[in-house]
Protein backbone atom coordinates (compact mmCIF):
# COMPACT_ATOMS: atom_id res chain seq x y z
CA UNK A 1 0.00 0.00 0.00
CA UNK A 2 1.42 3.35 -1.03
CA UNK A 3 2.31 5.60 1.89
CA UNK A 4 0.38 8.87 2.00
CA UNK A 5 2.43 11.95 1.17
CA UNK A 6 1.42 14.70 3.53
CA UNK A 7 1.87 18.44 3.09
CA UNK A 8 4.27 20.32 5.33
CA UNK A 9 2.73 22.52 8.03
CA UNK A 10 5.22 24.75 9.83
CA UNK A 11 4.27 26.70 12.97
CA UNK A 12 6.49 29.60 14.06
CA UNK A 13 6.14 30.19 17.79
CA UNK A 14 5.37 27.79 20.61
CA UNK A 15 3.38 29.71 23.18
CA UNK A 16 -0.02 28.97 24.65
CA UNK A 17 -1.94 29.54 21.42
CA UNK A 18 0.30 27.08 19.56
CA UNK A 19 -0.28 24.54 22.31
CA UNK A 20 -4.01 24.99 21.91
CA UNK A 21 -3.76 24.84 18.11
CA UNK A 22 -1.89 21.53 18.34
CA UNK A 23 -4.58 20.18 20.67
CA UNK A 24 -7.25 21.17 18.15
CA UNK A 25 -5.30 19.37 15.41
CA UNK A 26 -4.99 16.24 17.55
CA UNK A 27 -8.78 16.21 17.91
CA UNK A 28 -9.12 15.82 14.12
CA UNK A 29 -9.52 12.25 12.83
CA UNK A 30 -7.10 12.78 9.98
CA UNK A 31 -4.39 15.44 9.96
CA UNK A 32 -3.30 16.02 6.35
CA UNK A 33 0.06 17.50 7.39
CA UNK A 34 3.47 16.66 8.72
CA UNK A 35 3.89 19.28 11.46
CA UNK A 36 7.02 21.19 12.44
CA UNK A 37 7.05 23.69 15.33
CA UNK A 38 9.88 26.22 15.65
CA UNK A 39 10.34 27.71 19.13
CA UNK A 40 12.75 30.48 20.05
CA UNK A 41 12.50 29.42 23.71
CA UNK A 42 14.29 26.21 24.77
CA UNK A 43 11.16 24.59 26.24
CA UNK A 44 7.94 22.97 25.24
CA UNK A 45 4.72 24.98 25.35
CA UNK A 46 4.03 26.42 28.81
CA UNK A 47 1.37 28.39 30.61
CA UNK A 48 2.66 31.96 30.53
CA UNK A 49 -0.17 33.12 32.78
CA UNK A 50 1.32 31.07 35.62
CA UNK A 51 4.69 32.85 35.56
CA UNK A 52 3.44 35.16 38.31
CA UNK A 53 2.74 32.10 40.46
CA UNK A 54 6.29 30.91 39.83
CA UNK A 55 7.55 34.35 40.87
CA UNK A 56 5.57 34.22 44.11
CA UNK A 57 6.72 30.67 44.88
CA UNK A 58 3.30 29.10 44.41
CA UNK A 59 4.42 27.06 41.39
CA UNK A 60 7.64 25.89 39.77
CA UNK A 61 8.75 25.85 36.15
CA UNK A 62 8.09 22.15 35.63
CA UNK A 63 4.49 22.51 36.79
CA UNK A 64 3.62 25.13 34.16
CA UNK A 65 5.09 23.28 31.15
CA UNK A 66 2.07 21.88 29.32
CA UNK A 67 3.85 20.09 26.49
CA UNK A 68 7.33 18.67 27.04
CA UNK A 69 9.66 17.89 24.13
CA UNK A 70 8.63 14.24 24.58
CA UNK A 71 5.00 15.16 23.90
CA UNK A 72 5.97 16.46 20.46
CA UNK A 73 7.91 13.32 19.56
CA UNK A 74 5.09 11.12 20.87
CA UNK A 75 2.70 12.94 18.51
CA UNK A 76 5.07 12.82 15.51
CA UNK A 77 5.63 16.59 15.60
CA UNK A 78 9.11 17.89 14.81
CA UNK A 79 10.14 20.48 17.42
CA UNK A 80 13.01 22.91 16.83
CA UNK A 81 13.43 24.52 20.26
CA UNK A 82 15.92 27.21 21.16
CA UNK A 83 15.86 28.24 17.51
CA UNK A 84 14.37 31.47 16.15
CA UNK A 85 13.05 32.13 12.65
CA UNK A 86 14.87 35.07 11.12
CA UNK A 87 13.43 35.15 7.59
CA UNK A 88 10.33 34.09 5.68
CA UNK A 89 10.62 33.56 1.90
CA UNK A 90 7.01 33.67 0.79
CA UNK A 91 7.84 33.08 -2.88
CA UNK A 92 9.74 29.83 -2.26
CA UNK A 93 7.77 28.90 0.88
CA UNK A 94 10.70 28.52 3.23
CA UNK A 95 11.71 29.86 6.63
CA UNK A 96 15.30 30.35 7.74
CA UNK A 97 16.38 30.11 11.38
CA UNK A 98 19.23 31.63 13.35
CA UNK A 99 20.91 28.22 13.17
CA UNK A 100 20.91 28.48 9.35
CA UNK A 101 18.27 25.79 8.94
CA UNK A 102 16.07 26.29 5.85
CA UNK A 103 12.68 24.63 6.30
CA UNK A 104 10.12 24.25 3.52
CA UNK A 105 6.40 24.62 4.12
CA UNK A 106 3.22 24.12 2.16
CA UNK A 107 1.37 26.17 4.76
CA UNK A 108 2.88 28.42 7.40
CA UNK A 109 1.25 29.42 10.69
CA UNK A 110 2.62 32.46 12.50
CA UNK A 111 1.97 32.30 16.24
CA UNK A 112 4.82 34.49 17.43
CA UNK A 113 2.97 36.08 20.32
CA UNK A 114 4.07 39.38 21.77
CA UNK A 115 6.77 41.00 23.86
CA UNK A 116 6.73 43.37 26.79
CA UNK A 117 6.06 46.95 25.78
CA UNK A 118 8.89 49.38 26.38
CA UNK A 119 8.92 52.68 28.25
CA UNK A 120 10.75 55.89 27.38
CA UNK A 121 12.87 56.06 30.56
CA UNK A 122 16.60 56.65 30.14
CA UNK A 123 19.35 54.18 31.12
CA UNK A 124 17.41 50.95 30.74
CA UNK A 125 20.59 48.99 29.97
CA UNK A 126 21.54 48.96 33.66
CA UNK A 127 21.63 45.53 35.30
CA UNK A 128 18.52 44.33 37.19
CA UNK A 129 15.87 45.94 34.96
CA UNK A 130 13.63 43.18 33.63
CA UNK A 131 10.69 42.62 31.29
CA UNK A 132 8.16 40.03 32.54
CA UNK A 133 7.28 37.75 29.68
CA UNK A 134 9.17 34.45 29.73
CA UNK A 135 10.61 31.67 31.88
CA UNK A 136 14.06 33.23 31.40
CA UNK A 137 12.76 36.61 32.66
CA UNK A 138 11.20 34.94 35.69
CA UNK A 139 14.34 32.99 36.59
CA UNK A 140 16.41 36.16 36.39
CA UNK A 141 13.95 38.02 38.63
CA UNK A 142 13.98 35.21 41.19
CA UNK A 143 17.77 35.37 41.36
CA UNK A 144 17.73 39.17 41.72
CA UNK A 145 15.03 38.99 44.42
CA UNK A 146 17.32 36.90 46.63
CA UNK A 147 19.61 39.93 47.04
CA UNK A 148 17.03 42.73 46.72
CA UNK A 149 15.56 44.78 49.54
CA UNK A 150 13.51 47.10 47.32
CA UNK A 151 11.87 46.76 43.92
CA UNK A 152 9.93 48.95 41.52
CA UNK A 153 7.15 47.63 39.32
CA UNK A 154 6.38 49.87 36.35
CA UNK A 155 2.72 49.42 35.45
CA UNK A 156 -0.42 49.01 37.54
CA UNK A 157 -2.19 46.57 35.24
CA UNK A 158 -2.83 42.92 36.01
CA UNK A 159 0.69 41.71 35.18
CA UNK A 160 2.31 44.50 37.19
CA UNK A 161 0.17 43.81 40.25
CA UNK A 162 0.86 40.09 39.96
CA UNK A 163 4.59 40.84 39.81
CA UNK A 164 4.31 43.15 42.83
CA UNK A 165 2.47 40.50 44.83
CA UNK A 166 4.99 37.85 43.78
CA UNK A 167 8.02 39.86 44.90
CA UNK A 168 6.31 40.84 48.15
CA UNK A 169 6.12 37.13 49.00
CA UNK A 170 9.93 37.09 48.98
CA UNK A 171 10.11 39.88 51.56
CA UNK A 172 11.00 42.55 49.02
CA UNK A 173 9.57 46.03 49.62
CA UNK A 174 7.68 46.83 46.42
CA UNK A 175 6.58 50.15 44.93
CA UNK A 176 4.23 50.17 41.93
CA UNK A 177 4.59 53.15 39.59
CA UNK A 178 1.48 53.70 37.47
CA UNK A 179 0.86 56.57 35.11
CA UNK A 180 -2.91 56.32 35.50
CA UNK A 181 -4.88 57.85 38.34
CA UNK A 182 -5.90 54.40 39.61
CA UNK A 183 -4.71 50.82 39.12
CA UNK A 184 -6.30 48.30 36.77
CA UNK A 185 -7.99 51.21 34.99
CA UNK A 186 -8.92 49.01 32.02
CA UNK A 187 -10.70 46.40 34.14
CA UNK A 188 -12.09 48.30 37.15
CA UNK A 189 -13.68 51.60 38.08
CA UNK A 190 -12.04 53.92 40.59
CA UNK A 191 -13.97 52.63 43.60
CA UNK A 192 -13.09 48.97 43.04
CA UNK A 193 -9.48 49.87 42.19
CA UNK A 194 -9.17 51.87 45.42
CA UNK A 195 -10.42 48.88 47.41
CA UNK A 196 -7.90 46.60 45.70
CA UNK A 197 -5.08 49.07 46.29
CA UNK A 198 -5.98 49.22 49.97
CA UNK A 199 -5.83 45.43 50.26
CA UNK A 200 -2.43 45.30 48.54
CA UNK A 201 -1.11 48.07 50.77
CA UNK A 202 -1.91 45.94 53.81
CA UNK A 203 0.41 43.34 52.29
CA UNK A 204 3.25 45.88 52.08
CA UNK A 205 2.91 47.01 48.45
CA UNK A 206 3.22 50.78 47.97
CA UNK A 207 1.86 52.85 45.08
CA UNK A 208 2.81 56.00 43.22
CA UNK A 209 0.03 57.03 40.81
CA UNK A 210 -0.14 59.67 38.09
CA UNK A 211 3.60 59.40 37.55
CA UNK A 212 6.20 57.74 35.32
CA UNK A 213 9.88 56.83 35.34
CA UNK A 214 12.08 59.51 33.77
CA UNK A 215 15.38 57.67 34.18
CA UNK A 216 17.12 54.84 36.01
CA UNK A 217 20.42 55.40 37.79
CA UNK A 218 23.32 53.14 38.74
CA UNK A 219 26.97 52.58 37.89
CA UNK A 220 26.44 49.05 36.60
CA UNK A 221 23.58 47.75 38.71
CA UNK A 222 20.31 49.61 39.37
CA UNK A 223 20.40 51.95 42.38
CA UNK A 224 17.43 54.27 42.01
CA UNK A 225 14.78 55.63 39.68
CA UNK A 226 13.86 59.27 39.14
CA UNK A 227 10.22 59.97 38.37
CA UNK A 228 8.90 62.68 36.07
CA UNK A 229 7.51 64.41 39.16
CA UNK A 230 11.09 64.73 40.43
CA UNK A 231 10.77 62.10 43.15
CA UNK A 232 13.67 59.64 43.55
CA UNK A 233 13.03 56.06 44.72
CA UNK A 234 15.89 53.80 45.80
CA UNK A 235 15.57 50.32 44.34
CA UNK A 236 17.60 47.17 43.72
CA UNK A 237 15.54 45.91 40.79
CA UNK A 238 12.78 47.02 38.44
CA UNK A 239 10.19 45.10 36.41
CA UNK A 240 8.62 46.68 33.33
CA UNK A 241 5.01 45.51 33.07
CA UNK A 242 3.30 48.11 30.89
CA UNK A 243 1.49 45.84 28.46
CA UNK A 244 2.45 43.93 25.34
CA UNK A 245 3.52 44.66 21.75
CA UNK A 246 2.68 42.14 18.98
CA UNK A 247 5.64 40.36 17.39
CA UNK A 248 4.62 41.25 13.85
CA UNK A 249 7.87 42.45 12.27
CA UNK A 250 8.83 39.08 10.75
CA UNK A 251 5.48 38.94 8.99
CA UNK A 252 5.66 42.53 7.79
CA UNK A 253 9.14 41.90 6.35
CA UNK A 254 7.63 39.01 4.37
CA UNK A 255 5.05 41.33 2.83
CA UNK A 256 2.12 40.56 5.10
CA UNK A 257 -0.39 43.35 5.68
CA UNK A 258 -1.23 44.98 9.01
CA UNK A 259 -0.93 48.21 10.96
CA UNK A 260 -0.72 47.18 14.62
CA UNK A 261 0.02 43.50 13.97
CA UNK A 262 -0.36 40.89 11.20
CA UNK A 263 -3.72 41.38 9.56
CA UNK A 264 -5.97 38.33 9.17
CA UNK A 265 -9.54 37.69 8.05
CA UNK A 266 -12.21 35.77 9.97
CA UNK A 267 -10.56 32.46 8.96
CA UNK A 268 -7.12 33.55 10.27
CA UNK A 269 -5.86 33.95 6.69
CA UNK A 270 -3.27 36.63 5.88
CA UNK A 271 -2.95 38.32 2.49
CA UNK A 272 -0.65 35.42 1.48
CA UNK A 273 -2.69 32.31 0.62
CA UNK A 274 -0.03 30.02 2.13
CA UNK A 275 0.35 31.86 5.45
CA UNK A 276 -2.07 32.05 8.37
CA UNK A 277 -1.58 33.72 11.76
CA UNK A 278 -3.12 33.36 15.22
CA UNK A 279 -2.73 34.76 18.71
CA UNK A 280 -1.22 37.94 20.03
CA UNK A 281 0.72 38.67 16.82
CA UNK A 282 -2.46 39.30 14.77
CA UNK A 283 -4.99 42.02 14.23
CA UNK A 284 -8.55 41.39 13.12
CA UNK A 285 -10.75 44.29 12.08
CA UNK A 286 -8.26 46.65 13.71
CA UNK A 287 -8.31 44.81 17.04
CA UNK A 288 -5.37 43.03 18.72
CA UNK A 289 -5.71 40.35 21.39
CA UNK A 290 -4.19 39.56 24.77
CA UNK A 291 -6.81 37.48 26.59
CA UNK A 292 -7.04 33.71 26.41
CA UNK A 293 -10.64 33.29 25.20
CA UNK A 294 -10.23 34.82 21.72
CA UNK A 295 -6.85 33.12 21.28
CA UNK A 296 -8.47 29.73 21.83
CA UNK A 297 -11.05 30.58 19.21
CA UNK A 298 -8.30 31.61 16.77
CA UNK A 299 -6.78 28.15 17.21
CA UNK A 300 -10.09 26.36 16.69
CA UNK A 301 -11.01 28.35 13.57
CA UNK A 302 -7.65 27.71 11.94
CA UNK A 303 -7.54 24.00 12.78
CA UNK A 304 -11.01 23.58 11.28
CA UNK A 305 -10.06 25.40 8.10
CA UNK A 306 -6.82 23.49 7.58
CA UNK A 307 -8.22 20.03 8.29
CA UNK A 308 -11.93 20.08 7.48
CA UNK A 309 -13.42 19.36 4.07
CA UNK A 310 -16.79 20.81 5.05
CA UNK A 311 -17.57 24.34 3.88
CA UNK A 312 -18.38 26.96 4.91
CA UNK A 313 -15.77 26.86 7.65
CA UNK A 314 -16.62 28.28 11.09
CA UNK A 315 -15.27 31.83 11.27
CA UNK A 316 -13.96 34.01 14.07
CA UNK A 317 -16.21 36.66 15.57
CA UNK A 318 -14.81 39.28 17.91
CA UNK A 319 -17.40 39.03 20.68
CA UNK A 320 -17.38 40.83 24.06
CA UNK A 321 -15.09 39.32 26.69
CA UNK A 322 -15.28 39.34 30.47
CA UNK A 323 -12.16 39.88 32.60
CA UNK A 324 -11.85 37.32 35.40
CA UNK A 325 -8.90 38.07 37.66
CA UNK A 326 -7.57 37.05 41.05
CA UNK A 327 -4.95 39.15 42.79
CA UNK A 328 -3.68 38.55 46.33
CA UNK A 329 -6.59 36.17 46.89
CA UNK A 330 -9.18 38.76 45.81
CA UNK A 331 -11.57 37.83 43.00
CA UNK A 332 -12.43 40.45 40.38
CA UNK A 333 -14.85 40.33 37.45
CA UNK A 334 -15.68 42.98 34.88
CA UNK A 335 -17.19 43.37 31.43
CA UNK A 336 -18.46 46.13 29.19
CA UNK A 337 -18.02 49.76 30.23
CA UNK A 338 -16.54 50.62 33.61
CA UNK A 339 -18.07 54.08 33.97
CA UNK A 340 -21.58 55.19 33.05
CA UNK A 341 -21.94 57.20 29.82
CA UNK A 342 -24.42 60.06 29.59
CA UNK A 343 -27.97 58.85 29.99
CA UNK A 344 -27.01 55.63 31.81
CA UNK A 345 -27.57 54.82 35.46
CA UNK A 346 -25.54 52.88 38.01
CA UNK A 347 -26.68 50.33 40.58
CA UNK A 348 -24.07 49.95 43.35
CA UNK A 349 -23.46 47.86 46.46
CA UNK A 350 -20.41 48.96 48.43
CA UNK A 351 -19.62 46.99 51.59
CA UNK A 352 -15.90 47.38 52.49
CA UNK A 353 -16.40 45.54 55.77
CA UNK A 354 -17.45 42.42 53.84
CA UNK A 355 -14.91 43.06 51.09
CA UNK A 356 -17.70 43.34 48.51
CA UNK A 357 -18.29 45.90 45.78
CA UNK A 358 -20.73 45.51 42.92
CA UNK A 359 -21.67 47.96 40.19
CA UNK A 360 -24.02 47.49 37.25
CA UNK A 361 -24.43 50.07 34.49
CA UNK A 362 -27.78 50.17 32.70
CA UNK A 363 -28.77 52.08 29.58
CA UNK A 364 -32.05 51.77 27.64
CA UNK A 365 -33.08 48.90 29.94
CA UNK A 366 -29.99 46.93 28.92
CA UNK A 367 -27.00 45.92 31.03
CA UNK A 368 -23.88 47.48 29.49
CA UNK A 369 -21.30 47.32 32.29
CA UNK A 370 -20.33 45.03 35.18
CA UNK A 371 -17.76 45.55 37.96
CA UNK A 372 -17.55 42.96 40.75
CA UNK A 373 -15.05 42.90 43.63
CA UNK A 374 -14.82 40.08 46.16
CA UNK A 375 -18.06 38.19 45.52
CA UNK A 376 -18.04 37.38 41.81
CA UNK A 377 -20.46 34.43 41.79
CA UNK A 378 -22.99 36.20 39.59
CA UNK A 379 -20.41 37.44 37.08
CA UNK A 380 -21.11 34.90 34.29
CA UNK A 381 -24.87 35.29 34.78
CA UNK A 382 -24.62 39.08 34.49
CA UNK A 383 -22.41 38.65 31.43
CA UNK A 384 -25.03 36.48 29.73
CA UNK A 385 -27.64 39.17 30.33
CA UNK A 386 -25.26 41.77 28.86
CA UNK A 387 -24.44 39.93 25.63
CA UNK A 388 -28.11 38.99 25.12
CA UNK A 389 -28.90 42.74 24.97
CA UNK A 390 -32.38 41.95 26.18
CA UNK A 391 -34.41 44.13 28.50
CA UNK A 392 -33.58 43.55 32.17
CA UNK A 393 -36.54 45.62 33.36
CA UNK A 394 -38.38 42.53 34.61
CA UNK A 395 -35.40 41.73 36.88
CA UNK A 396 -35.50 45.11 38.62
CA UNK A 397 -35.10 46.21 41.38
CA UNK A 398 -33.36 43.04 42.60
CA UNK A 399 -30.85 42.70 39.76
CA UNK A 400 -28.03 44.18 41.81
CA UNK A 401 -28.26 41.31 44.33
CA UNK A 402 -27.36 38.75 41.68
CA UNK A 403 -28.47 35.40 40.38
CA UNK A 404 -28.19 33.75 43.79
CA UNK A 405 -30.77 36.16 45.23
CA UNK A 406 -33.15 36.08 42.27
CA UNK A 407 -33.07 32.27 42.18
CA UNK A 408 -33.86 31.96 45.92
Q: What SS3 string covers 202-213?
A: HCCEEEEECCCE
State the pLDDT at residue 406.
73
State the pLDDT at residue 272.
98
Q: What is the mean pLDDT of residues 121-139?
A: 94
Distance in angstroms (rounded) separating the CA atoms of residues 222 and 216? 7
Q: What is the mean pLDDT of residues 57-82?
A: 94
**Percent of the chain topping pLDDT 70:** 99
Q: Name 351's Cβ contacts closer than 8 Å, sequence gap at least 6.
A: 357
For the chain, how long is the longest CA-to-CA vector?
A: 77
309 pLDDT more than 90: no
Q: What is the mean pLDDT of residues 112-130?
A: 95
Q: What pLDDT band is residue 252 in, cutting at 50, 70 and 90?
A: very high
Sign of the alpha-carbon dihedral angle for 337, 341, 344, 345: positive
Q: What is the mean pLDDT of residues 126-151?
A: 94
Q: What pLDDT band is residue 268 in, cutting at 50, 70 and 90?
A: very high
State the pLDDT at residue 48.
92
Helix, strand or coil, per DSSP, at residue 11 = strand
State the pLDDT at residue 408.
56
**Rounded to 10 degrees, what is the CA torsion of 67, 70, 73, 79?**
60
Q: What pLDDT band is residue 2 in, cutting at 50, 70 and 90?
A: low
More confident residue, 296 or 328: 296
10 pLDDT more than 70: yes
Domains of the chain: 7-115+244-307 (3.50.50.60), 129-240 (3.50.50.60), 323-406 (3.30.390.30)
Average pLDDT over the chain reads 94
Angstrom CA distances, 338 to 137, 220, 267, 344, 350, stand at: 32, 43, 31, 12, 15
pLDDT tens digits, one per residue of 210-221: 999 999 999 889
The pair phi, psi for residue 17, each rounded to 5°, is: -70, -35
State the pLDDT at residue 390.
86
Q: What is the mean pLDDT of residues 355-383?
A: 95
Amino acid sequence: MKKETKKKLVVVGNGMVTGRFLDELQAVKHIPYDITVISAEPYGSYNRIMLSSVLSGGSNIDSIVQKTPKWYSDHQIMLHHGEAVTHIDGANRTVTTDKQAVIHYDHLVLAMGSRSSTISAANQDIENIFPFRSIADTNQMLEAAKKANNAIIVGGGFLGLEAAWGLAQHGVEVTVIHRGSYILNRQLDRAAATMLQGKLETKGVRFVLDDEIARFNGQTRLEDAVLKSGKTIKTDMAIIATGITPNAELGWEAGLAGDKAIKVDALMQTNNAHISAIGECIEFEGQTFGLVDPLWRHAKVLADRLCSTNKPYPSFENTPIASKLKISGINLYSAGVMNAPDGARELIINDPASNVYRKLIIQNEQLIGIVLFGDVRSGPWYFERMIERSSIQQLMPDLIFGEEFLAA
